[in-house]
Chain A
Amino acid sequence: MSAEAHHAEPGFFRKYLFSTDHKMIAMQYLFTGMIMAVIGGYLAYVFRMQLAYPSQQVPGYGVVSPNEYNSLVTMHGTIMIFWVAMPVLLAAFGNFLIPLMIGCDDMAFPRINRLSYQVFFLSAVVLLASFLVQGGAFGGAWTSYPPLSAKGAYNLTPVGASMWLVAVALEFVAFLLGGINFVVTTMNGRAPGMKMYDIPIVVWMIVLATIMFMFSVGPLIAGAVMLLFDQLLGTGFYDPGRGGDPLLWQHLFWFFGHPEVYVVLLPALGIVAEVVAVFARKKLFGYKTILHTAWAVWVLSFVVWAHHQFVAGIDPRMANVFSITTLLISIPLAEMVFVYIATLYGGSIRLATPMLWALAFMAEFLIGGVTGIFLGASGTDIYFHDTYFVVAHFHYTFVPIAIIAVFAGLTYWYPKMFGRMLNETLGKIHFWGSIITFNVIFIPLFITGTAGDQRRIYSYAQFAEQARPALQHLRVVSTLALLVFIAFQLIFVFNFLWSLRHGQRAEANPWMANTLEWTVPSPPPHGNFADMPTVYRGPYEYATPGRREDFWPQNVPN
């Protein structure tokens, strides 16, 4: 796929499974993430069918039992965040883009990079294997709160609970190994001439996100060891009867869990920045503003975590503090979106598929951000907490991040990754089909949530005060929209696979972009650059007055 046969062609295993080439590792992460996305989507399909048509046969699954329902929602959340969003946004794009965009031949530590993927692969195997053990996969929610998660008698999935913890811990190790590589490579491996403010925004964002991940995950690694000991070795770290405190887990989890949102958000914002500048044919408005707001998000993200715990029994005075910081963090993020809109203003916009996805990201993420205000303020959160309003809000942030921005990035860099162009018509059909159905899935959930529908309920029929038959049609609409959404993804899969062989051949720079990855052939050969590039200017010099072409690649002297 990637290596031109300069010397002896490496064997299948050396090339695809034990490669140290950053592009191959990126593809491994990408395809693993996509396979996991199919599994996560299948789980969502099963439990949405259960919610729309309670206790009936689900085609392709069977009747869902209450325990299985818990496992389904838990594993859907876990897989989509830790095994789809993280590997695709951070690891796949990070691995593929960082060395190419900063103009070097590989990661600083290629073998540690390979180890990172191998540990990640192992973590995925452990997680998927937990479906097969006695009691089934973990059913204590993706946040894994004790005492529910600490005692098998409570969560009814004693083996699955521990396997879940081990899998998550392995996954963290994988991203620590990969992440340190990202940071060090970007700091030390830049091409001559590339100063701090010449680094493309997406690389900045991936590195900032990585540092954020490295700093927030440590306490949770310690906390996960403690929870594992509670499960297996009879300690009482989170057992109030024995001097422990279950709130400690919540704090350690969200000290990581909330920055985690920004860990995946920042790369998504970076991808959107690249796409917007290229397809508006205009210099990115306020490069430094974006960076400074990203730093502000970075700092603030470490002081907002307890807004997930307003109803968990934290002190109301602390809840006030965390309400304020939470509302504050929306300011830099809003500013960033304004900067992107300002970039569009006066540009000559080309509505190619990547641009459509980037624009959709801004529109949909805006809804996610605005509904977050209700949950960040502790007063309203007490009502909305644990309703489908939270679910809808969450998906209005995470679907733009992990689906929409990823499609923007994939459709934009596909020619560079595989040397072929995607089909534009299919791309646009897929775009409109996905965006419309996505809104039809989640807008009804805002309504049912506001009406009081609790999440994590297997069947409303068993709770008289929860039944609300008048809302059932909304639950059905949401499920049906999901079915259509999934059907539209088949178009993307077809387009992706068909274009690999039959797409139009991509030249080196089909989008006429400035960043360094577009100066090498598509797909880039082993070692990336035939001659190591030198950088002369920032990455967003589009439509410079007095130049014949409307773009000005970073490595062209004048």
Chain B
Amino acid sequence: MSKIHVTTTVNGDPVEFLADPRDTLLDCLRDQLGLTGTKEGCGTGDCGACSVTVDGVLVCSCLVLGAEAQGKQIGTVEGIANGSELHPLQRKFIEHAALQCGFCTPGILVAAKALLEQNPDPTETEVRYWLAGNLCRCTGYDKIIRAVLDAGAEMRGAN
């Protein structure tokens, strides 16, 4: 099966790769582009560890084909920080001990960033429902929710 030449933008950088028609965007990010921050926890869109944004829309990259990335703007965990300056969410996750093993963390950060961009002042319930597609087995979510709420407050200038 011949491969498809894909030209796209990841975290603002122009990239190109050859995708097997069956390769997911997740496979292409990890195996073709070496962006292994995005994780595969299930491959069926249930766990959210592979969350990325495609043209600003939050998706599971295991449910998107690599070929579909053509001409899009892809955002991954590697693009959340501005150089060495961490995004408030990243700082708050460390500060609140909101990660234990850290495997779900990239997907949750990408998802939480998308939430705060669309709803800068979410309630606890809104955060919980927004992140209901991101499984974490270590933390019981408590400190994750606190970190997201605190990051939102900081970004609003509320503290």
Our verdict on whether A and B bind, yes or no, reads no
Q: Give the B-binding residues of A (Cβ under 8 A).
A: none
